[in-house]
Every structure is written in C-alpha cells, then in structure tokens.
Amino acid sequence: MFWYIVRRLLQGIPVFFGSTFIIFTLVFALPGNPVLRMFGDRTPSPEQIAALEAKFHLDEPFLTRYFLYLGDVLQGNLGTTYAGQSVNEILARTFPTTLRLALLAVLIQLIIGVLAGLISGLRKGGIFDHATLIVTLLIISMPVFVLAFVAQWVFGIQLGWFRPTVGAGAPWSDLILPAIVLAGLNLAYVVRLTRASVIETSQNDFVRMAYGKGLSRGRVVPVHILRNSMIPVTTNLAADFGILIVGATVTEGIFNVPGVGNELFKAINRHDTPEIVSIVTILVIVYVLVNIAIDLLYGVLDPRIRYVK
C-alpha cells in the first residue's frame, strides 16, 4: 500500500503543474488590464499604471510571470492579490467554510441518497421505487440556481425554517439549506446509482448462497448487498466532493456564503491572476488527495482488492 500511495502522489505532480499552467494561461488571455480594474471609475496616471505593473510583474513576459508565481507557490507563498491581501490569509479564512459546506452536502448525499437508493433497489417496482425515480428525475432536470432560489424563497422566507442567507461566522445551522441545494443534483444520481447497484448485487450468486445458508435479511442486506453496492457509489461521492468544492460558487453567491467559491467569483471579476490561480491550485491538490483516500477505501469495502508494488 505504501508504494501505491507514493505512486499516486507522484502522478499528482504533473496534474499540479499542468493545472496551474492551464489556469495561468487562461487568466493571462482574459481581456482588459487588471490595474485599471483596481481603480474602478477613476483614471490612473501613466506613472501609477507603470508602477503597479512593475510591482506585480505585469510588464514581464508570460513565462517569466508564471515561473515567478510557481517559485513562490513551491515555497508556500500563494502570492498577494492586486489589492494587497495575502492569498494565504484569504484561503485560511474562506476554505474552512467551503469545506464544511461540501462535507455537509456529501453527508446529506450519503445518508439520504444511499438509504433511498437501498430501499428503492430492495423494493424494485413498488410505490416507493416509482416515487423515487420521479422525484430524482425532477431534481436532475432543475438547474442548481433555480433550485437555490426556490429553496431560499420557500424554506427561508415563506416557512422560516432556515435563514435565507448565511450569517457572520457561517454556523453549521446556516449551512444546512445551502448544503441541501448543493447536494441536490448529485443526490439524485446517488439514489439512482445505489438503486441500480443494489439490484445488480442482489442477483449475484454469493447473495443467494448467503440466504441459502440461513442468514437473515438483516445480516445479508448490510454485509453482503450494501457493502458491495457501495463501491461505485463511493467513487461517485469522491469525484463529487471535488466538484462540490469547485461548484459551490453559484450556491455560495446566492446564499452569501463566505467561502472559496464566492471569493473565486469575485477574483474572476477583478481579473486577479494570483488569487484565481492559487485557489484553483489548492482545489486541485484537495481533489487529488481525496481521490487517493477513496482508492484506499476500496480495500475496506471489497477485501478482494489488494494494493501491490
């Protein structure tokens, strides 16, 4: 297992350099001068523009700017925004909120999605199964921003069950409604994937043998059916965890969540190259580490999986 982890970490190195280079290139290609955006409606003097361009190396060639940025990142310095803020401090302030939001969304998907998919798969063709398929189809067909506004208006304003916007400090109670919205789309896929996996696993010979040996349904379902059905679901949740962190931009913007997604959206509007590339770099690293952890979890879910050198 040790060599497997080492190999996966080494595979993440080209992903790291490739992602930073691609993002840096895309941001570099954006039209407009970020220095002018810093002044808003005011018009800076040519001397001010030249001074700021020299300060942030905007007058350097593209590759020079990229390698200067990369050198700082490898030393643990994610750079400084054009407004003079440290990107390290911004991430330290916003990333925990987005991480809590994503974890809460995954937990909702895991509990509700797996439970609904398990019941639907075990009772294939029943009323609950048909109702589940209809509800998940409706959720899949609804864009996330529509779902967010509807949930905010119904549960936050009309019913008053949740705060319509996230308050200062982003307590867990304020993150429940944004997490439900964020989890909504993939929750439908988790339900359907769990249902299909449970139906397929239930038809295997080892399940029939378990029943033939006299094991109770309460023993066969969690140990033999659910455990083996969780492998594709776990893969989906692992991939979705990274998507949730990155894709939280819309949800965080609607619910005013002080997280990374909201900060990334503001940085894109400001054309703030260091902040954009640094945030995306951290998200890539988190995504790679989560996928390595999920690969290791396969060995727990399926004893037949072994990691060799």
pLDDT tens by residue, 47-56: 777 777 777 7
Question: Within a 10 A sphere around the Cβ of 30, how many other Cβ atoms?
Answer: 11
Please report whether residue 229 resides in a domain: yes
**281 in a domain, yes or no?**
yes
Q: Is residue 78 in a domain?
A: no
Per-residue pLDDT averaged across 31-41, rounded? 66
Residue at 60 is within a domain: no
CATH number, domain containing residue 129: 1.10.3720.10
**Which residue bears the tokens 């006299």?**
214
In a domain, 209, yes or no: yes
Query: How many domains is the chain built from?
Result: 1
pLDDT-based confidence at residue 110 (cuts at 50, 70, 90): confident
Amino acid letter for position 97: T
Are the beta carbons of 172 and 97 closer than 8 angstroms?
no
Per-residue pLDDT at 300: 59
- Does 132 reside within a domain? yes
Q: Of the ranges 19-28, 131-140, 243-252, which one carries the lowest mean pLDDT score?
A: 243-252
Q: How many residues does the chain have?
A: 309
Stretch 113-128: mean pLDDT, rounded? 83
Counting residues of the chain whose pLDDT is more than 90, the rounded percentage is 0
Answer whether residue 130 is part of any domain.
yes
DSSP letters, 96-140, are HHHHHHHHHHHHHIIIIIHHHHHHHHHTTTSHHHHHHHHHHHHHH
CA R_g for the chain: 24
In a domain, 221, yes or no: yes
CA gap 217, 285 in Å, rounded: 42
Domain range for 207 is 93-301
Angle between helix axes 260-270 and 87-108 (nearest 10 degrees) is 130
The one-character DSSP state at 259 is S
